Structure 1
Amino acid sequence: MLYGSKRNVCSKCKAVNMFGETFKNVSIDFISSHPNCTFSSGDMISGEMKFELSKDVKIQHISMTLKGKAKISWTTRRGSGKSRHTRVHSAKLELFKLESIVVQGQNADEITLKTGIHVYPFRCQIPHGDFPSSFVGLHGRICYTVIFGIHRSWHRAKQFESEFKFVNHVDCNNPALLVPISAANSKTVCCLWCVSGPIMMDVRMERKGYVPGEIIQISAEFGNGSSRRVVPKALLVQKQAFYTAGKSTSKIVPRTLVCTMGQAVQPNHSDVYCELMLTIPEDAPTSIANCPILEVEYVVMVSLEISGASNLETLFPIVLGTIPLRQEECRPPPYSMVAKNIV
């Protein structure tokens, strides 16, 4: 997608069922007040469709469709040899669909488009609603398009479509996202009949809401009462979830986006303070929780890697939004979650 620096114009066009070389240099340009050429619920979307004709063409009308949709698909395989079979799991969701006529002859008569360049401005409003942001995932996507159809008598409509970026704004100044969060966890490790002293962690994060590009600051205190060396580690994990209708079948895909390691905690050491920093990638998609067939979630995982034993972990669900924190915002008091397990 190309972005204009002055008018904030973005253009992209995909031609479907073009008839020969009659239509040339087709473009659909969007004009947006946002520098990244994005749109949101209730925005007016405007621009122009432009094409060049190599010869005169008779048409009935030119239609425009504004459409939002989500679709997912993945396959599973079972059995082996001749009994092996593949099953496709898929679902589609229409978010909205608006249709209008751009050009039409009088009394249903055909009109003739002359050879040369034709430009058709358009302007319409995106419906108000809680629609998910544009997203392209491993097994599905959420997309928003403008489709122009050229309709002729006794012919299938010829379509030109262009995708635009839709953003569902999430404000990180929402009080629910400003709450500091903390978690504690502990375990003991065994070797034959011997049980070590406890391995403990107490982890804190200043809030739950962030925007791409921000740094997540993690404060932790560790205690290692065992005879083993342990190493602190923090990860930012994205979870893409895909669901068929009614969520009867699902596909969960975790992806580690960022990882950082801290200094090792030596055996029989306690009250070891550590700060871990995770920089959220600039291009990380925002969280999606308002689509029944596709979700995007984020979790910060803080763990202690224990030599010869399973890790000790704490999980912090976070939200990636679009509107960054205003430093003067007041924050509510922290709350704590405690978990313990013994291995």
Structure 2
Amino acid sequence: MPGAVTALGIVFENEAKSGYSGGEAVTGQVLLELGRELPVKALRLLARGGASVSWKPRKGDEGSREPPGGEAECLNVERKLLGGQAGEDDLTLQAGKHEIQFCFQLPVGPLVTSFTGKYGEVYYHVTAVLERPLLPSQSVHRELRIIRHIDVNSPALLAPVQRSKEEMVGCWFITSGPVCLSAKIERKGYCNGEAIPIYAEIENCSSRLVVPKAAIYQTQTFFCDGKTRTFRQMLANVRGNHIASGCTEMWNGKTVKIPPVTPSILDCNTIRVEYSLAVSIHIPGAKKLMVELPFVIGTVPFNGFTYRNSSVASQFSMDMTWLALALPEQPEAPPNYADIVSEEEFGRHVTVLTEPGDLVEGLHYPLFAVVQEFRFQPPPLYAEVDPHPCHITERQAVPCTLQD
């Protein structure tokens, strides 16, 4: 019955979602609109994904003329939304609009991030297949975006990256001096939209005027049948000032911003996507001096704490646990003086002076002996009112004259 299906489509539950990752549930509806009553054998939902690679052979490549190509499966899920078992009667759908719900779980294991490159791609799609008796099946495809999350706060991606290189500038046996380059980035993991601060020192000991530059490169590597094909492209760059002979320039956080690109793909046997920050020195009449700082573009943003700071903070909190155990919840009252010093011990260390002569003579005792008398004396009582107030009488000022 041709023309019975007027519309067939797939709608995801969360259309604003940027992508799914391994272990998540994908939900949505298959939209079916019929112009008339239609018998249906089954409505199936297929989720397929894989990595495919192919390129044309270059001149001089050994082997056949057939282009290298291959495909690795990443996802294979099938769900039956309508229809009974084999041999049962067909299902009849009435004319009008139908919304058939679907839900399937992605594999718990990591899935490779969706990517389209120069010589290959990592693709995922969901297909709804409408099977009809005595008529060919009708289907519709919808791309499924997959993102493999990479946390840039992992210890391996919080470590700094630093490279140094030196190039001797000269012609034949005459040398003018070296050009030295040292570059560093604070960590190895960044996300899209971040600005990478660059710390570099360029020392120009040659007789030529040099120009420093920095650029972000994406390197795509494809593997197939034991062969490798690489594609490299520049994504963003920044240029420094000219450096005269005998001068040194410092980059104390010169930034280059990461454009929106695919996160790093490092766990696929068919396709790899890597990033690096190249700091180079253009030397007229000589070979370019360049150092590359590899880094990873992740999906979980940096939380502001480096691995070193977090480890120190955790160690500090661990070392201070004894303080929480030592301090009681409610402070105790100080002990009574009589509970600490008995009358017997107090009497052994107190010298009793009964006669006035003994008091005068006691003033000539050694200092240590006098101090011992106050060793076990209780502290004085505290009162808000001074028990010995000082009565100050007002006196009139007397003028004073100086005479020669």
* Residue of 232, 237, 244 corresponding to 1:266: 244
2:28 pairs, out of 40, 43, 47, with 47
> Which residue of structure 1 lines up, in the alignment, with residue 158 of structure 2?
178
Q: Taking structure 1 as reference, are residues 43 and 195 closer, same or farther at Cα in structure 2, changes over 3 Å only?
A: same
- The answer as to whether partners of 1:202 and 1:220 remain within 8 angstroms in 2 is yes
CA RMSD after TM alignment: 2.0
Aligned position for 2:401: none
Under a length normalisation based on structure 1, what TM-score does the superposition of the two structures give? Answer: 0.84
Aligned residue type for 1:49: V
Q: CA deviation at 1:188?
A: 0.4
1:132-151 to 2 correspondences below 5 Å = 132-151=112-131
Structure 1 counterpart of 2:297, from 308, 317, 320: 320
What is the CA deviation profile of residues 153-195 of structure 1, one whole-angstrom value per residue up to 9, with x for unaligned ones? 3544322121121111000000000001111100102213211
Match of 2:72 in 1: 93
Q: 1:299 aligns with which of 276, 287, 299?
A: 276
Q: Which stretch shows the higher mean deviation, 189-198 or 89-98? A: 189-198
> Separation in 1 of the partners of 2:88 and 2:268?
40
Q: Distance in 1 between matches of 2:163 and 2:3?
A: 64
Question: Secondary structure in 1 aligned to 2:57?
Answer: strand
After superposition, the C-alpha distances for 1:311-341 in whole angstroms (9 at most, x for unaligned) are 11101111000001111343379xxxxxxxx
Q: Which has the higher contact order (CA 8 A, sep 6+)?
A: 1
Equivalent residue number for residue 185 of structure 2: 205
Partner of 1:72: 53
Unaligned runs of 5+ in 2: 311-404
Equivalent in the alignment of 2:330: none
Letter of the 2:78 counterpart:
E
Contact 1:302 1:314 in 2 (8 A): yes
d(CA) in 1 for partners of 2:154, 2:45: 37
Counterparts of 1:20 and 1:218, CA distance in 2 = 65
**Which ranges in structure 1 are unaligned for 5 or more consecutive residues?**
1-18, 80-84, 334-343
Tell me the alpha carbon deviations over residues 81-139 of structure 1, each in whole angstroms, 9 at most, x when there is no partner: xxxx9531211111121112111136521112222111100011111112111112222
Q: Percent identity?
A: 30
Shift of 1:23: 2.2
Q: Is the 8 A contact 1:78 1:86 kept in 2?
A: no
| Alignment correspondent of 2:212 | 232
CA shift in 2, pair 1:310/1:104, >3 Å? same
CA distance in 2, matches of 1:54, 1:256: 52
Q: Is 2:159–2:307's contact at 8 Å kept on the other side of the alignment?
A: no
CA separation in 2, counterparts of 1:20 and 1:315? 61
CA contact (8 A) 2:68 2:224 kept: yes
- CA radius of gyration, larger in: 2
Length, aligned pairs only: 305
| Amino acid in the other structure paired with 1:292 | N
Shift of 1:25: 3.0
